[in-house]
Structure 1
């Protein structure tokens, strides 16, 4: 068994598509109209056959309170791994991405957290050599 698709709730699929592709560098895998919304998934350019991230509309009544609580408590909705956190942090800051946590040592990893402009905090992780990553 393996993970095929996971989702992140987004306030606006068009805005999310632009952010996740133009800024983060993912590529669209599926873009299928489904009524007012789309089955819109992105994948890493480094693993185009890997796990898909569904940019899921935040329309269910439970989503807004859930997302608001996570952001209020500083809890990221997802984690993405990078090879060089400092380099990726600088690249994203230069593109206007707002970080709520600067690159920080956190035990076996280095991490940073940014606002995805779609109602979520996203964590970047760089595995340390000692962690086996």
Structure 2
């Protein structure tokens, strides 16, 4: 059996990303291991601290920077996070100053919203209906 252990989101600045993903989105820092000029820096969901880790991956590879920029310019989210109540989460994040490119709306069997993570990415929030 194969299972997902770590997935990543590219970030322009790991410190700024850690602040956003913990203080704004509510994740918890799991690993912070120095690796030269960067770190192996992961966060996890508070409700699943032994679950999948999200690596805040530094953008040190030029083709990756181009890919990240191209996705954002096209309005395409890098990844998607599940929420229990998208309306409540949208309001909470708006109150914290988070900018959304898409306000909550239905998309088939789910509700979605798309936020700017301030680190170079759009991130989709999704609630199953």
TM over 0.5, shorter chain = yes
Partner Cα separation in structure 1 for residue 38 and residue 80 of structure 2: 25
Aligned residue in 2 for 1:45 = 46
* SS of equivalent to 1:90: helix
Partner Cα separation in structure 2 for residue 118 and residue 63 of structure 1: 14
Partner Cα separation in structure 1 for residue 76 and residue 89 of structure 2: 20
Could you tell me how far 1:66 is from its partner in structure 2?
Answer: 0.4
Q: Which runs of 5+ in 2 are unaligned?
A: none
Partner Cα separation in structure 1 for residue 74 and residue 105 of structure 2: 18
Partner Cα separation in structure 2 for residue 80 and residue 50 of structure 1: 14
Could you tell me how far 1:3 is from its partner in structure 2?
Answer: 0.1
Aligned residue in 2 for 1:100 = 101
Partner Cα separation in structure 1 for residue 61 and residue 122 of structure 2: 19
**Residues 19-61 of structure 1, C-alpha deviations (whole Å, 9 max, x = no match):** 0000000000000000000000000001001100000001101
Aligned residue in 1 for 2:30 = 29
Partner Cα separation in structure 1 for residue 105 and residue 112 of structure 2: 5
Partner Cα separation in structure 2 for residue 109 and residue 73 of structure 1: 22
Matches within 5 A, 1:52-67: 52-67=53-68
Could you tell me how far 1:64 is from its partner in structure 2?
Answer: 1.5
Q: Which runs of 5+ in 1 are unaligned?
A: 129-133
Aligned residue in 1 for 2:86 = 85
Could you tell me how far 1:81 is from its partner in structure 2?
Answer: 0.1
Paired residue total: 128
Could you tell me how far 1:63 is from its partner in structure 2?
Answer: 1.4
